[in-house]
């Protein structure tokens, strides 16, 4: 319930913004609007917000369904309803702009442009911070000449209630709310004969609701194409999945670090040797967000200080981008966003997999997580928190993810995990001895981490 919902829009907006603990600049960043627009609405210079603006602000403020209904009613009192548009303004390309250069993805950009030309729904999947949004925006910009009626960007990160997913897409298309037609019906009616590319960004937390929108568009709008970013697939018919890997740690990741360090301060790159930059790239697994956050630390930290931070939770917490959307300000926020979307059993499995080890097989992961954990491990792979790697049947967890999960695990929990690992490895060795397979025994011993505690526990 919104107190004072009958009063003017500006004071109501200001009260809700303060309730959410946001500055005008922070609310503008969340909603994809300008700080000047927020200021004008609060001061009453602009008394009647557009429907699209209301939808974006409601999502950014985290309003409940009841509060959103009151919010929309208050806004509609000030502006008479306008009919839904009957056409898309030809050729408009509405995409966020970046102040930084695009690194290390030219080949994937070309691949995805070619994929979009033959597939109407393409989803870029990968772990948080791997660069899905930036790549998708570059792909959409490159593909724009192929869609005469333009490109629309739909930011879903600030959406709290999946019930409003249709409304956010409608707002991006300038479709007014209200009337006898539902948002989804209005979207399909507008785009039925249009040749448009929709970029749906950050779908994972509202995947089911967005999948409904996508399926309706694919069935009802034969010339619409959709490019989505998500930490997991949308699982709709016709979806082409592109798994986005981290940057090459020997080349692009190092170049990215040095470029962002130079942008952070004139002394940034000078403070780092190429060897140290390569070490940062390696220890951060080539993940662009992690590398950019590390580069920003060159303003206040020297080479050795930054390298010392990388192995612990302080880096996850302290390296920060203040103007980024909330779940991308720190690595901890990015990983926490994915963690919060898991079930309790899946969270338990992720914490178990943070136990120090050089890597494991699917069987080894089940041994760490428990005999009934196979579905939970599969889910961690689908949500990009656990990676399948070569050779076949091997699994990998990024070091930043491992550090985050380990920080949430209790000592007693890790004792149980260590005991399960020791029993499993001991069982493998006994089986090998029984079968007289000396070479298998030696290979098993070599596969055990060199950490003294683990090897001693198994022996």
- pLDDT, position 181: 52
Please state the length of the chain: 459
- What is the Cα–Cα distance from 226 to 119, expressed in whole angstroms? 9
Res 446 pLDDT > 70: no
Q: Which long-range contacts (C-beta less than 8 Å, at least 24 apart) are formed by 423-430?
A: 423/367, 424/364, 424/367, 424/368, 425/458, 426/458, 429/458
Cβ neighbors of 429 (< 8 A, separation 6 or more) are 441, 444, 445, 458
Residues 6+ apart with CB under 8 A from 128: 231, 289, 327, 328, 334, 335, 337, 338, 384
pTM to 2 decimals? Answer: 0.75
The pLDDT of residue 216? 94
> How confident is the model at residue 35, as a pLDDT?
76
Confidence of residue 358 (pLDDT cuts 50, 70, 90): very low
pLDDT exceeds 60 at position 458: no
Report the pLDDT averaged over residues 417-437: 75
Q: Whose structure tokens read 């070490």?
A: 279
Instruction: Give the pLDDT score at 143.
Output: 93
Cα 328 from Cα 441, distance rounded (Å): 45
Cβ(369)–Cβ(344) under 8 Å?
Answer: no
* Contact predicate 229/73, CB 8 Å: no
| Reported confidence tier of residue 6, pLDDT bands at 50, 70, 90 | very low
Task: Tell me: pLDDT of 433 over 50.
Answer: yes
Give per-residue pLDDT as tens, 71-103.
777 665 554 444 444 445 556 788 988 888 888
Mean pLDDT of the region 337-359: 85
| Cα–Cα nearest to 315, from 392, 251, 400, 254 | 400
- Which tens digit of pLDDT belongs to each residue from 283-325? 999 999 999 888 888 888 888 888 888 867 777 776 666 656 6
Q: Are 429 and 441 in contact (CB under 8 A)?
A: yes
User: Could you tell me whether strands 239-243 and 360-361 are parallel, antiparallel, or unpaired per DSSP bridges?
Assistant: unpaired
């Amino acid at each position: 319930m919104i107190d004072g919902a009958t009063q003017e829009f500006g004071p109501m907006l200001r009260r809700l913004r303060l309730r959410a603990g946001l500055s005008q600049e922070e609310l503008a960043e969340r909603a994809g609007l300008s700080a000047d627009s927020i200021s004008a609405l609060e001061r009453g210079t602009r008394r009647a917000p557009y429907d699209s603006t209301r939808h974006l602000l409601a999502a950014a403020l985290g309003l409940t369904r009841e509060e959103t209904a009151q919010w929309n009613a208050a806004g509609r009192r000030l502006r008479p309803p306008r009919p839904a548009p009957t056409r898309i303004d030809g050729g408009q390309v509405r995409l966020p702009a970046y102040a930084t250069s695009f690194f290390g993805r030219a080949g994937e950009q070309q691949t995805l442009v070619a994929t979009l030309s033959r597939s109407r729904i393409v989803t870029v999947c990968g772990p948080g911070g791997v660069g899905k949004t930036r790549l998708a925006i570059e792909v959409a910009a490159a593909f724009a000449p192929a869609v005469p009626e333009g490109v629309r960007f739909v930011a879903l990160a600030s959406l709290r209630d999946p019930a409003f997913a249709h409304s956010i897409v409608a707002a991006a298309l300038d479709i007014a709310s209200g009337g006898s037609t539902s948002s989804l019906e209005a979207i399909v009616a507008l785009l039925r004969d249009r040749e448009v590319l929709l970029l749906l960004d950050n779908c994972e937390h509202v995947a089911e609701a967005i999948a409904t929108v996508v399926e309706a568009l694919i069935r009802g709008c034969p010339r619409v194409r959709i490019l989505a970013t998500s930490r997991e697939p949308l699982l709709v018919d016709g979806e082409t999945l592109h798994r986005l890997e981290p940057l090459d740690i020997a080349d692009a990741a190092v170049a990215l670090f040095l470029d962002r360090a130079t942008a952070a301060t004139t002394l940034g790159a000078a403070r780092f040797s190429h060897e140290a930059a390569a070490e940062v790239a390696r220890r951060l697994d080539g993940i662009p967000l992690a590398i950019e956050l590390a580069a920003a630390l060159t303003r206040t930290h020297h080479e050795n200080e930054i390298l010392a931070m990388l192995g612990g939770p302080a880096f996850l917490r302290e390296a920060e981008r203040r103007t980024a959307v909330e779940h991308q300000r720190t690595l901890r926020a990015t990983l926490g966003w994915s963690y919060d979307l898991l079930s309790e059993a899946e969270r338990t499995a992720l914490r178990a997999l943070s136990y120090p080890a050089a890597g494991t097989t699917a069987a080894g992961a089940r041994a760490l997580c428990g005999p009934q954990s196979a579905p939970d491990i599969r889910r961690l792979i689908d949500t990009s928190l656990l990676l399948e790697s070569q050779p076949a049947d091997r699994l990998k967890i990024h070091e930043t993810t491992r550090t985050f999960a380990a920080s949430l695990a209790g000592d007693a929990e890790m004792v149980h995990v260590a005991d399960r690992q020791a029993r499993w490895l001991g069982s493998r060795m006994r089986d090998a001895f029984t079968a007289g397979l000396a070479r298998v025994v030696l290979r098993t011993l070599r596969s055990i981490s060199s950490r003294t505690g683990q090897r001693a526990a198994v022996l």
